[in-house]
Structure 1
Amino acid sequence: MKIIAIRLKNLTSIEGSVEIDFTEEPLRSAGIFAISGPTGAGKSTLLDALCLALYDKAPRFANSVESIPLSDVGDNQINQSDVRNLLRRGTGEGYAEVDFQGVDGHRYRSRWSVRRTRSKSNGSLQPQVLEVKDLDTDQEYQGTKKELLAQLVELVGLTYEQFTRTVLLAQNDFATFLKSRGTAKAELLEKLTGTGIYSRISQEVFAKNKAAQEEVALIHSRMSVIELMPEEELLALQKEKEQLTERRDAGIKLLRDLNTQLNIVRSLKTQEELWKKKEEEEQSGQENMVALQRSLQLQEEGLIHFKAQWEAIQPDLKKARQLDIQIQSQQTGYAQSQKILKEARLRVTEYGKVVQSATSQLQMSYHSMNLLLNHVGGETLELEQVEKILQKEEELLESRLKVHEECQQRLNAFGYPALVDTQSKLKNELVRLQNIRQLTETEMKTKEDIGKLEKETVTCAQELAEQEVALKTIQRLYENARMAVGKDVTALRQQLQEGEACPVCGSTTHPYHQEQEVVDTLFRSIEQEYNATAATFQQINNRNIALQRDLAHLKHVEEQLKTQLVALQQENPESGNEEQIKNQLKELAERILEYGNLYAEWQQKDEEIKKMRAHCTALHENVSRYRLAMQKAASSKEQLAILETAVITEQGRFDIITKALEELRLERSQLLKGKNVDEAEAAVVRREKELNATLEKSRKDVEMAQNRLAGLQGEKKQLSVVIKELREQQKHIEFPDQLPETIAKQQDENSNTESSLASISARLLQQVKNKVIAGQIAKELAEKQLKAERWAKLNKLIGSADGAKFKVIAQSYTLNLLLFHANRHLSYLSKRYKLQQVPGTLALQVIDCDMCDEVRTVYSLSGGESFLISLALALGLSSLSSNNLKVESLFIDEGFGSLDANSLRTAMEALEQLQMQGRKIGVISHVQEMSERISVQVQVHKKVNGKSVLTVVG
């Protein structure tokens, strides 16, 4: 995974669009670069933009746990942990964009953007938008924001937590890590290494054990509520059930016989009532039959009368059909005459417009011609007069053209292009001579500055050599003194006895045996002198480097000045001096001015000739248009007169046809009441069909009434037979009127028997079910108890409610692997120290290799030493997290401010070692010495109003 470019706009203190492209120089060739700037300038905003574009998260919100609403524009509010807070206030939109190389080798671009409503600074914040694109195939990824974030994790190869442990290193967590408790270390290792599964396993084991024990207790409680009846009670219930079954069967048979008798009584009553109803229907049917037969007779008479009327109107139908044919023929002639008359009138109207238009054009042409001739008098000019005026103006134009050509020949004689070319060459030569004079003066001043710097450089080099000798001398004293106050030496000194030989030097006198405080004071004095000498040496060395850099720069400038001066002197060595060139330029200016005056005069005459020529051309065109307009107006008036005569003729013919048509229509309106013959015949046919249909329906109604009457008579006969049979059966029934009461009593008795039988059957069935359930519960209890015992054993080993038990065990192995990687990096940072795990715990201790591998507590480390060890832990975690993934980009955020000059130099050398492994490393720091050591920098500069700008230098 490799970061290619970072772009952002309007985020926190950075206003406008900025870009950091690692494929362009100087960042392309730099293995390590610094992101520098004052505190609060916006250095960490670059890393926030990187995480926003890839994960929709920002490191600065990592510790925000409270959900507190903050006021936004207007009455709107936004949660304090919302990443949209990064949008710079006062702006309407912003974005973060990252180009990176994914795990599959393709180049991708991910863009995170946020805007306010209508992109106005006072609009409401809209939801952030994520866009992902494959730059190699130009494919645009689709999906919701959640789906795109999941795809980005696959493309990058790292989750957000892994990314912030592998690509972004923050030392604050590891400074805490060094001195935290064992449980806290385990939690931090879980967070940093993503191995929280061990805590979840411990908690899951605890929960499983608790659930298993609760299941066993629940089964015991279920077993206690199951009741089984004694064997004697069970036999008694079974016998009582047999007796009740026999009683129920006898009651059911008796109830069935009683219901049969009741049905016979009720059926007899029903059949008698039905016979009476059929008799009434028979009487009503006979009356209906008489009425239907009378209606049938009337309809037959009406049909005969209708047919007689139809025969009587046949002559009128024939006469009406003949008149209809004549009217239709006359209407055709009427329509044709009307159409011809309409078209003739339309042509008259159109030609009237043509005549009007031709007259208007004639007037406009005449008016235009008068304007061109400036003729505003009351008299009318004839066409011949206009043509004479035009001839005079053309002769005047010819004379002025001859004068104009003479003026143009005088202009051409001046040779203006040659004059301008000569003037340009003289001006360039004057500038060249002035540049030679300025370069000569600058060269002399640069030689003086070089002489001064050479003297200062020699003096500074002498001081540096003297200071280096002094530093080496005091350094040897300091190293000896440091060894003398070491822990092992102090312990050895306390064991010396007067008169006994020292095991190191063999001396029998021990002057420092009782003077430990004097030794310590002397060591502190030497240490202070060593530190002061080292600081002075570093200052002189920095000054010497700066002087040499400035001297080399001035010499380079001097060479450039010499080259430029030689080039200028060789361009035109025989051009003369500045005074001669200025006089030549003055003469040329006067000549060019004279040309300008003559050109102005020529231009004025040229404009006058153009106006005269345009006037003559316009007058020619107007005369032609006027002549054509006159011809067109005369022709249009002649054609209009012809068309008006044709309209009058056609109008007379149309009036004759109209009168004949009206007489035929009057005669036709007196026949058939003006109705159409076909319609009248169709109406007669419809009426005849209606009368025939009504007659046929009446015949069917009579036939149906006869059939219905015969059917009622047959039903009465059948009912009489059934009633006779039912009366014979009723004679054998005792007390038929009391049957409903007897049946109700028997139903109650049967119901009571059935209820008792159901109760006993339910108790017996429950006994069977309870036996089955008790057997199943006993089997389930044995299985659950075996499972609960296993979980109890596992819970005793690794289970805990908070997950701490297994977490500490598992993270002990993780810590060993982390220390392996950290010590490898620590060997580059400081060969003096080595990290080690305190046996049986997650605590850390330090091995001091300079003090005979003395074991030291982490609390004894200085601030700079703690930072170096924390940095080694961070780099070790980066190695641990990226074993299966090649990570080519690394960003380290702050932490270098606690280092002295030597420690800072050591840290830089270690980072350079990482650079040699193929990583591009970005260091975010405001430490001046670090910024000076790293030549390629992304500098963040603070401006007014809380704004910052970025520049890449190198």
Structure 2
Amino acid sequence: MKILAIRLKNLTSIEGTVEVDFTAEPLCSAGIFAISGPTGAGKSTLLDALCLALYDKAPRFAASVESVNLADVGDNRINQSDVRNLLRRGTSDGYAEVDFLGVDGHRYRSCWSVRRTRNKVSGSLQPQMMEVKELDTGKEFQGTKKELLAQLVELIGLTYEQFTRTVLLAQNDFATFLKSKGAAKAELLEKLTGTGVYSFISQEVFARNKAAQEEVALIHNKMSVIELIPEEEQLALQKEKELLAEKRSEGIKLLAEQNAQLNVVRSLKTQEELRTKKQKEEQGEQARLKTALDILASQEEGLVRFKAQWEAIQPDLKRARQLDVQIQSQQEGYIQSQQLLQAARKQVQEQDKRKRMVEEQLHLSYQTLRRLLNVAGTEDSLRLEQVEETLRQEEGNLSAGIETNEKRLERLNAFGYPSLAEEQVKLQKELARQQNIRQLTEALKKAMSEIEHLEKEAADCSKELSEREVALKTVQRLYENARMAVGKDVKALRRQLEEGEACPVCGSTSHPYHREQEVVDTLFRNMEQEYNAATAVYQQVNNRSIALQRDLAHQKMIAGQVREQLSAFQKESTDTGNEEQIQQRLGELAKLILEYRNLYAEWQRGDEEIKKLRSHYEALRENVSRCRLAMQKVSAANEQSVLLQNAAIAEQKRFEVIEKALDTLRRERSGLLKGKSADEAEAAVARREGELNLALEKARKEVETAQNGLSGLQGELKQIASSIEELQVRQKQIEFPEQLPEAIKKQQEENLNTERSLSIIEARLLQQAKNKAAVEQIAKELSEKQSVADRWAKLNKLIGSADGAKFKVIAQSYTLNLLLLHANKHLSYLSKRYKLQQVPGTLALQVVDCDMCDEIRTVYSLSGGESFLISLALALGLSSLSSNNLKVESLFIDEGFGSLDAESLRTAMEALEQLQMQGRKIGVISHVQEMSERISVQVQVHKKVNGKSVLSVVG
């Protein structure tokens, strides 16, 4: 990895555009160069620009910078840890750009840029942008800022932390590292080498061991709460269970015998009661049978009378049938004649209607012709031959109009209107997009400003709420004490106090409130008012805090939505120019489209005229044809009307003859069967006969049912009598039958007690079995958990600790040893007198003084210049350690040379020249005059007025 060029604009003290090109002379041939200038001129700004372009971070904005919002332009504020603070005040935009050689050997360019709204100095700061492209092919990388930064890490081969340890070296951390204590040295070494995972491993081992031990303890507690019955007690319970089971069987058997005897007694009583009931039912069935026999005789006599009446009306029925046939025959002819007459009348009406319609059509056609020709008068005054001459004239006018309008259409097609309209729509969309971006940017600025304002208000309100809560708790405690002091019991106790006698509560013989109850009540009311006021104020502040949090969440949601919309609009960018260029092109398109539309309107007017001429011509021609056709239809309709009217008159006469004959038959028929039809009379007779037969059959069934019921009751009475005799014999064998209910109740209670005792014993034995199984399961689980806990305990003893320090010190001891190997290699060039060495068993450092027979010395005995050289060796060693197998060809060293004397400075320069010979290009940032004089190629930063600096490359 190699830095090829750094460019920046309007960053901190450097105003305008500045470029440092390491591929151009004199920097191209210089292996070592100095970045020199007075303090505050802006030397470190070059390194800030380098990190901004590659990582969107700057060394001066460390993670420990406090998060505080500072005033920007207008009412806007910006966090002091925000890298956009590097934009020079009084400028509207700035950027940092770096060309570098990636790990794949290709050249890339990364650009970080920031600007203010509308590129005005008074505008609010917009989000910073990142652009990355490959210089050899011109390919631009796509994606969000986060995605581009991830791709840059892959191209460079180093993370930001690795980059600042490998390419940018600062001695301050290593001067601290050299003399710090062991734990602090481990923490600093962890930060510098990025090996913080060891602390995490140590803490995780400690946490896992603690959790494992707690699991084992928990299982022990689970086992301790399970109670097991002693073996002797379990055997006694088993024996008692067998005795109770035998007793339960005997009790059940005895209870069954007693219930059977009781059933005999109850069955005898039931059978006797049933016999009495059945005897009463037998008497009822005998009465019912007599009634049914009387009804049957009556129904048989009624059926005989009905059949005699039916024989008497047979002659009338026969004549009625003959008349019905004649009427039916005559009725069919009557209906047919009536239908024919109606059809004839309908045809006459329809023909009259058709005649009127064709006459109306003829009249309308002549009216239409007169309207089309604008001629007044009657049909006779208008001749069709004159109309046809007018048709020929209008046909010539129509052809001429069509020819003229086709020429206009050819001119319209030459305009290419679709492409003009498409371009206009595209430009209008782009103009709307740019306007939306501007509006959304302003809306986002407003939302972020509102969020900062709400966050400040919410923080202030939260602080006030905490203070109010403390005050409320204090007042509440005093109020509760005061309320207890005015309670009924306390008042009653206070009234019983006597001066000089000890109070039974506090033991005091002085009672200042004994006679001043009103004073106590007044103090309580005052305290109550103060408590209520404090509660109201706390509730008010709490409500305000909730409202602020809700408003803040709402504003953040709005800002997120605006940011998403803005990103979506920005992704739709096209190469159509800015708003002014788009407006200009839209004006040109509007003129062309207006000219097209005017010609199109002229063509439309011509087309409308042609349509009107064609419509008039076709209407005139069509109405001439209609007139001729209507005249023919009127003549044919007159002839048809005469024929239909003659046919209708003949059909009317035939209908009147048939109607008269039908009336004569109907009068004779109405005097027979009361006007009913023969079928209807027969149906009525059959219906009545059926009803009489049904009634007769029902009466027969009633008689049969009554006979069967009486027979069944008599059979049941015989059976009941037999059962009573048998039950009486069995009851005589039972001793004391009247005492059976009491004996059964007593036996049931005894059986229930036995069952309860047996259930209790069975439950205890079942619980014993469950407890044994649970103990076995827990013991198995305990064995497994104990094995895991033992392993974690051993591991925790080796490397585990709550703060992660144990394994961190062990791991960093190996890292420190490797670091010292690289550092001593560089220290051999810087100072051959000293070697760095690790104090055995610790992270402390000591130096070996080779000029004093390898005497071991403490690092605190070193001079300032010697400490600097050793710190520089450590920094260079870390650079070698961090780069691993990655070839890093650029190195920047920031300050630290001011503490060196001339000889040490010379030694440091020689060491740096050795690094240069290894293929690295080294940049030294220093304001030391002697060092600047030794390095011929320099990037000089000169201070000017108003905090402005300029940059020049000399060599």
Q: TM-score normalised to the size of structure 1?
A: 0.48
Q: TM-score normalised to the size of structure 2?
A: 0.48
